[in-house]
Amino acid sequence: MRIGLVQIHPLIGDFARNCEKILAWSSRATERGCDLIVFPELALSGPAPRDLLLRPSFVAEHEKALRKLLQELPEVPVLLGVVRKEESGTLSNAAIVACRGEILLQTGKRQLSSHDIFNEHRYFTPDSSASPILTVAGHRFAVVLGEDLLFPGVHLHGEESRFSGLEQLNATQGEKPVEGVINIAASAYLFGKYDRRRQMLGQLARAAGVPVLYCNQVGGQDSLLFDGYSTAVSADGGICREAKGFEEDCIVVDTEAGLGQVRSLAFQEGEEERLYRGLVMGVKDYFEKSAIRSAVLGLSGGIDSALTAAVAVDALGAENLLCLALPSKYSSAESVEDAELLAANLGCRFEVLPIDGLFSRFTGELAAQFAGLQEDVTEQNLQARIRGILLMAMANKFGALLLTTGNKSELAVGYCTLYGDMCGGLAVIGDLPKQLVYRLAACKNSRGPVIPERILRKPPSAELRPGQIDQDDLPPYDTIDAVVDLYLEKREGLEEIVARGYDRAVVEEILGRIRGSEFKRKQAPMALRATSGGGHLFPNLHNYRG
């Protein structure tokens, strides 16, 4: 039996476009001799429609599109993820199998995601029925959605597996055993998740004693990066087929031929390469869905803006990026030179707009009010806000989107200026810790020296006062990165982090900065999600120190 796993990039709410895409890929899979065609979770609506699901008109349009789609599907069974309205009026995140205008099988998701963006409990009711068995041409498969694959609770062949919601997999006397599990998913990318996912799929297949076919979404949607990499895993846990990452693709597996030989370009990729490709996809898709063609960013001569510019050029093309250097009297000549060289290497437009004149005008206007007071962070923030005004003006005038260039470490501890360097519409590297920024820049340069070596070697500096470097104001970035990961991602508290050997005073400083910067993060541009799993939702004001 030949099964096509088709990973597509739907656009939320564009039901006509999504139907056309499903039909086009179904036609291609049919031409390749597929007996069953599989699409990802929420293939018709697009992944993470969020509060659109609370709008009756959205659900009605989805139902209308599904009815039309059913009449146009090929005469081959098609499995796809949909939003299903129950008789009670509630919604289910569901999978259906349709052929010749009829729904042959349907099932709902049981383990709903509590991810801060998906938040499925807000929209869907978990399915309490047993997972159905799909029979096609005499072959039997279990069909599960998303996280239903990951939880313990079922005995396949007398031994407990890690599956959940597959109670009917127990082979009853007189029935043919299940030949495999088909999992449709909308699983977003995170740094390091690729290897964990492959390992998990292999373990599940070995535990079940049957092949596992995994079909995932692909494409950028808001902050989420769906990476694809749909996979066919043999019963012994071997990866037999794998779709491309970060682009639409279809792989065909033959269950009667042992699923075939290993074919995967991803085996030759490093995790940094996958992350870089994911960011490029995220920027490209964000601009396409926003109907914006060009971008503007401030090029400081530092590592963060350099990496952001490189990603933007790969996503949008050099002709669609304007880089602006906005030096002040505190900016070094080397920074402007490095920015200009980077722009030349990238082939994008580059202009210099000094801010000293504007800064003098502002400080002059405030001279009477600030008389007798020493310069402090106020004047530093004023420079950042002047730059923000100029960058926003250029973006507005030319119909472009301003990209912010701050990283996760700076944003976590508030080392950024509200309405200054935080101005913009998309934070390309806003979820990358500082050390990962350097690794990604090195990855980019491994394909050709684009980012000047001096940018990679110089100490990070905001250049807002004479001789300033970041480490004058902050703990070392490797410490910040580690503590931020432990506190925000692993949810460890002060005492747990200190017990790992970190200096208590340093940890208290970092956690204090995180607490004091929540109001900034809530006003920051959306960042492409690369390292933050479930996200965090802290109150702006609280007195918890643990």
pLDDT for 535 equals 76
Q: How far apart are CA 466 and CA 380, in angstroms?
A: 11
pLDDT at 175: 60
Higher pLDDT, 469 or 506: 506
Q: What secondary structure letter does DSSP report for 379?
A: H
pLDDT digits (tens, 9 = 90+) for 223-249: 999 999 999 999 999 999 999 999 999
pLDDT band of residue 267 (cuts 50, 70, 90) is low
pLDDT at position 263: 52
pLDDT band at 149 (very low <50, low <70, confident <90, very high): confident
| Cβ-Cβ contacts under 8 Å for 372 (sequence gap 6 or more) | none
Which residue ranges form the domains of the chain, and what is each CATH number?
2-269 (3.60.110.10), 274-459 (3.40.50.620)
pTM of the entire predicted model: 0.93
pLDDT at 260: 56
* C-alpha to C-alpha distance for 492 and 500, rounded to whole angstroms: 11
Examine the pLDDT at 171 and tell me if it is beyond 60: no
Query: What are 288-297's pLDDT values in tens digits?
Result: 999 999 999 9
Phi, psi of 182 (to 5 degrees): -110, 120
Give pLDDT tens digits for 128-139: 876 678 988 888
Reported confidence tier of residue 174, pLDDT bands at 50, 70, 90: very low
pLDDT tens digits, 271-282: 999 999 999 999
What is the pLDDT averaged over residues 168-181?
A: 61
- pLDDT bracket for residue 178 (50, 70, 90): confident
Confidence of residue 117 (pLDDT cuts 50, 70, 90): confident
Helices vs. strands in the chain: H and E counts, helices first: 15, 19
274 and 243 in contact (C-beta within 8 Å)?
no
